Structure 1
């Protein structure tokens, strides 16, 4: 059994064990706007095996009517339960790659374009790194008033003002 089959079994088992009612298959259009299909657990196995065909001409910037159909293929490594749904209303999500019906990368898929750019950079000796930058601020108690910063210092100050 290969890694993709193992991952698919994990997804299907998790959906069943956690009582997931819908799985959202996420993708973005060429402008980065999120789009999604919602599938039930009964539809999920086929969606994982074959992807979901849809009319790409109905998504701005994807396809012309003559070459309309494309395939949303779930990337199982992105499967995640969505924590903000109530118990019993479980929802999960998985990101999709958009491919042509013959399985070749679809040029209108932002994930495919990012892969191309990253592979091109790698071929030139560059390595791409990304990480979150967590920032926070302290505020005085609100008591119905607008928040007031506790610290009057500024970015790059050598000595704190407070």
Structure 2
């Protein structure tokens, strides 16, 4: 697992000025919010806020609390097509709790259940 200080140093060395906090909706369509790198700690701890009612199928209405997209440090990727821009995959939260329809949260839950049953996942890594 990558630490916040390590990522902050890598972003500084890579000349990153903006972050894309990317998530997917229930249909798998990518969505993103661009945030200045000065707010790295904010999107890591709290998340990048957006109106969940704008996403079809997320169970949010105009009266609902904002959703927050919290970045996953292990997904840090400087994008090759725009200097100074990096992308992070994000998990969705509402009121500080994981959103029940967040595809990444659901996938993590399935993987954890499979691991608890004894399944081992090796993705090109030698044991």
> Any conservation in 1 of the 2:21–2:71 contact (CA below 8 Å)?
yes
TM-superposed CA distance for 1:128, in Å, is 4.2
Q: 1:63 aligns with which of 59, 82, 85?
A: 59
Query: Could you tell me which residue of structure 1 aligns to residue 101 of structure 2?
Result: 108
Query: Could you tell me which residue of structure 2 aligns to residue 79 of structure 1?
Result: 76
Task: Give ranges in structure 2 of 5+ residues lacking alignment.
Answer: none
Query: Could you tell me which residue of structure 1 aligns to residue 119 of structure 2?
Result: 126
Residues 110-146 of structure 1 deviation map (CA, whole Å, 9 limit, x = unaligned): 0111112222223333334556xxxxxxxxxxxxxxx
> Any conservation in 2 of the 1:74–1:95 contact (CA below 8 Å)?
yes
Residues 69-119 of structure 1 deviation map (CA, whole Å, 9 limit, x = unaligned): 22111111111212233xxx32111111112213x2211110111112222
Q: Aligned partners of 2:39 and 2:115: how far apart in 1?
A: 38
With the length of structure 2 as denominator, give the TM-score of the two structures.
0.81
TM-superposed CA distance for 1:13, in Å, is 2.3
Call closer, same or farther: CA 1:54–1:21 in 2, change over 3 Å: same
Call closer, same or farther: CA 1:30–1:15 in 2, change over 3 Å: same
Query: Could you tell me which residue of structure 2 aligns to residue 154 of structure 1?
Result: none
- Whose strand fraction is larger, Structure 1's or Structure 2's? 2
Following TM superposition, where does structure 1 have runs of at least 4 consecutive aligned residues deviating by more than 6 angstroms? Answer: none
With the length of structure 1 as denominator, give the TM-score of the two structures.
0.66
Q: Greater relative contact order: 1 or 2 (C-alpha under 8 angstroms, separation 6 or more)?
A: 2
> Any conservation in 1 of the 2:20–2:87 contact (CA below 8 Å)?
yes
Query: Could you tell me which residue of structure 2 aligns to residue 32 of structure 1?
Result: 28
Which secondary structure state, in structure 2, belongs to the residue aligned with residue 64 of structure 1? coil
Which secondary structure state, in structure 2, belongs to the residue aligned with residue 97 of structure 1? strand
Which secondary structure state, in structure 1, belongs to the residue aligned with residue 69 of structure 2? strand
Tell me how many residue pairs correspond in the alignment: 123
RMSD of aligned Cα (Å): 2.2
